[in-house]
Copies of this chain bind each other. A is one copy, B any other.
């Protein structure tokens, strides 16, 4: 399976600014990307990084640079032929098992919803389907599949639903992550804090 992994070099993970400075956000984003590439390969996929600018450091996969908005850049990849899978680079909990389940699910379009309305992974087997990543994209993708007569199937996976955007997401990385991303978070001094409501995170500055 050809697997496109979009990666934003230009403004990585701005909503993590409360806990991480610029260079850290960049480092952490690359750690997640490397984990995702490993998981894709372990699930039998062949990854291509789709970056909005040159990465500036070596990465163990081919990189295509396309500085257009995410939706246009991904649609250009879909135009190169199906089947193709799109997997976001910030799925720090993704495992080969979860991705294999995605790849093996039958359907013209198979989606793994993200929390809060996103589409974190998408297998496209229908030549007329195109993506639109603005807003609540999972609802848009359902509609877009319907418009071209493509079946739309969702994969029920927590590991593909968590994209790391906000400090609260570090809780799930610490509790369920395994790879470089979790190690990065631990090394940064970010740790669980247990209060009255949901568990949160704090950071010990070193």
Contact = CB atoms under 8 A, between A and B. Distances in A.
Interface of A: 15, 95, 97-98, 101, 113, 115-118, 134-136, 138-139, 156-162, 165-166, 168, 171-172, 175-176, 192, 194, 197-199
A172 B15 contact: no
A138 B197 contact: no
Contacts of A95: 156
Q: Nearest 8 pairs between A and B by C-beta?
A: A116-B198, A117-B199, A135-B194, A158-B161, A136-B199, A158-B158, A116-B171, A156-B159
Given A157-B158, A199-B136, A117 B171 contact: yes
Contacts of A197: 15, 165
Contacts of A199: 116-117, 135-136
Nearest to A101: B156
Given A135-B194, A199-B135, A115 B15 contact: no
Contacts of A134: 194
